[in-house]
Amino acid sequence: MTYISKPSRVSTAIHFGLLILKINLIYISRFFRHFFGIQTITDKQHETSLHNKIIHAKDISEIAAANGYVIREHVVTTKDKYLLVVHKLEKQDQPYTGHGKIAYFHHGLLTNSELFILGSEHNKNLPFLLVDKGWEVWLGNNRGNKYSRKHLKLSPFDPKFWNFSLDEFAYFDIPDTLEYIRNVYNTYDKITYIGFSQGCSQLFASLSLKPQLNSYLNHFVALSPAIVPQNLKHPIFQVIVKQTAKDNSFLYSFLGNRAIMSSVSFWCSVMGPHLYEKVVDKSLVYLFGWTGNNISKLQKQLGYGHMFSNSSVKSLVHWFQIIHAQRFQMFDESCKVGLTRLSTFTNHLKSKAHSVAPFPIGHHLDVPILLVYGDSDILVDMETTKSLILTQNPKMATNLTEVHCPGYEHMDVLWGDDVYSKVFSKVIAVIDKNPPKYIS
C-alpha cells in the first residue's frame, strides 16, 4: 500500500497560494483573449465542430469519439510494478474479424498515445486508416505519462517513482506491453510495431536486451527514429547538454528529480491554442531549428495542446548523455561515483576506467524494418542509424527499407500537409502485403 505523508502547514499554504495564482491567471488569459478577439482556431474556413471537439477533448477517448471511433482501455502491469494504460482503437459497432493483423503504436519522449490520432483530416491519422481496413490497433503509453502515473507501491509524489529512463522503457514497458497484447489473441498473431521518435529507440533497445521479442513481430515501422541525435541547436542548450552528460546532478538541480513538464496542461489552457501554438513553434526553433513550414496552423493548434505529457527528468538526462557521447547506450549511473578524481581527470582516462553499457542493436535484430525520415531533422542521423542496424548483421541488408522525405522535419511524418501521399500510403503498402505470421 502506498504511504503518503501528511503535508505540513507551510506546504499547504504554498499549494493554496499557487491555486489562487492559477485561478487568477486563467481569468486574466480569458479576458485578454476575449478583449483582443483571439479565436480558438484562427482559420475560419476550417473552424468546424470536429476540430473544436478535438482541441477541447480531455483525453484520447473523446478525441476518438469525435472521429467516430471507440477506445477500449487495458492495464498492463510491468514486472517492476508500474501500471500502464494501453488503448485499443475500434470503429464503432465493428468487432474484430479474426484475420490476424495487429498494429501497435508507441509514442515519443514527453508525449502519449493521443499523438497518433490528432490529424486535421481523416487520412492524416494512420491508426484510423488501419482500423478502417480491419486491423486490430493498439496504442501504448510509457510509465509516468498522463495515462500511466500509477505504481503498486510507489506514489508519484515519491522521487523513487520517477527513477526511470530509456533503460526501464526498454527493459519493462515495451516487452511487457507486447506480451500483454500477444496473450489477448489465442492464435498468437505477430504484431506490426509502429513507433515514432523515442518509440523507435525503445524497441531498438528492447530488441538488444531481449532478442526473443523479434519472434513477436511481423514488421517494425520506424517514423523519425531518434537513435543518436545531433546536438541541440542553440549554444546555451548545447552547454546544458554537455554539462548534464558530465554530471547527472546538474540538470536535477534545475528541474528536480521527479517529473518534467508537470504543468504543461495548465499553461496550454491559460494561453489558449493560438498563443500556445506560437510559443511551441518558437521553442522548437530554438531547440531543434525546425521551421514547421510543412504543418498547417490548424494542425498545430489541434496537435500541440495534446502533444506533451509527463516523463521523468532522468529520461531527459539519459538523452543528453546519448547526444554527448554520440553512442546509443544505457544510462550512465556512475558519472564519477566509484571512480577516483585522478581516473576522471580527462575524458580519455575516464573512458579507460569506465565503459557505459551499450544497447547492442546490430547484433540482435531479426525483423523487417521500414525507416521513414526527413532530411531536415537534427534528431535523426540516418547514416548512424543504418550503420547500427547493418554492422555485424548482414541478414538485415535484405530486411531494411527506407522512405526518404525531402524537406521533412521531425513531426512532419505524422502531421505534414502531404503526409498521406508521402508516408502513410507507403507504410500501408508495405505492411499490408506481409501476410499474418504466427508464433509456433
Q: Is residue 437 part of a domain?
A: no
Q: Is residue 56 part of a domain?
A: yes
Based on the domain organization, do 31 and 56 belong to the same domain? no
Please work out, in degrees rounded to the nearest 5, the angle formed at the alpha carbon of residue 290 by the alpha carbons of 285 and 292. Answer: 105
pLDDT at site 338: 53
pLDDT at site 266: 85
Residue 250, classified by CB atoms within 10 Å of its CB into exposed (0-12), middle (13-18) or buried (19+), is middle
pLDDT at site 433: 83
In the block, residue with C-alpha cell 531479426:
366
Based on the domain organization, do 14 and 103 belong to the same domain? no
Based on the domain organization, do 335 and 220 belong to the same domain? yes
pLDDT at site 3: 47
Q: Is residue 1 part of a domain?
A: no
Q: Which residue has the higher pLDDT, 79 or 1?
A: 79
Based on the domain organization, do 146 and 253 belong to the same domain? yes
Task: Summarize the confidence of residues 384-395 as an average pLDDT.
Answer: 93
pLDDT at site 388: 95
Task: Summarize the confidence of residues 382-395 as an average pLDDT.
Answer: 93
C-alpha cell at 130: 488501419
pLDDT band at 187 (very low <50, low <70, confident <90, very high): low
In the block, residue with C-alpha cell 535523426:
380
Catalytic residues: 197, 377, 410
Task: Summarize the confidence of residues 93-110 as an average pLDDT.
Answer: 83
* Closest of 109, 136, 156 to residue 318, by C-alpha: 109
pLDDT at site 177: 98
**What sections of 262-312 are H helices per DSSP?**
264-288, 297-307
Distance CA 142, CA 146 (A): 9
Distance CA 264, CA 283 (A): 14
pLDDT at 46 over 60: no
Q: Is residue 27 part of a domain?
A: yes
Distance CA 105, CA 127 (A): 8
- What domain range includes position 154? 44-432
Distance CA 186, CA 180 (A): 12
- Annotate 4-58 with DSSP letters as a single string: -PPPPHHHHHHHHHHHHHHHHHHHHHHHHHHHTT--SSS-GGG--HHHHHHHH--
Based on the domain organization, do 16 and 115 belong to the same domain? no
C-alpha cell at 359: 544497447
pLDDT at site 63: 98
Kindly report the CATH number assigned to the domain that includes residue 347.
3.40.50.1820
Tens-digit pLDDT profile for residues 214-246: 999 999 999 999 999 999 988 999 999 999 998
Distance CA 178, CA 74 (A): 12
Name residues whose C-beta falls within 8 Å of residue 420's C-beta, 6 or more positions apart in sequence: 123, 124
Based on the domain organization, do 113 and 172 belong to the same domain? yes
Based on the domain organization, do 239 and 210 belong to the same domain? yes
The rounded percent of the chain whose pLDDT value lies above 70 is 82
Based on the domain organization, do 27 and 103 belong to the same domain? no
pLDDT band at 438 (very low <50, low <70, confident <90, very high): very low
Tens-digit pLDDT profile for residues 154-186: 999 999 999 999 999 999 999 999 999 999 886
pLDDT at site 246: 86
Based on the domain organization, do 18 and 145 belong to the same domain? no
Based on the domain organization, do 30 and 111 belong to the same domain? no
pLDDT at site 141: 98
Q: Is residue 279 part of a domain?
A: yes
pLDDT at 44 over 60: no
Q: Is residue 2 part of a domain?
A: no
Q: Is residue 384 part of a domain?
A: yes
Based on the domain organization, do 21 and 80 belong to the same domain? no
pLDDT at 43 over 70: no
pLDDT at 348 over 90: no
Q: Is residue 438 part of a domain?
A: no
Domain total for the chain? 2
pLDDT at site 117: 98
Based on the domain organization, do 155 and 33 belong to the same domain? no
Distance CA 144, CA 82 (A): 9
Query: For 82, which DSSP code?
Result: B
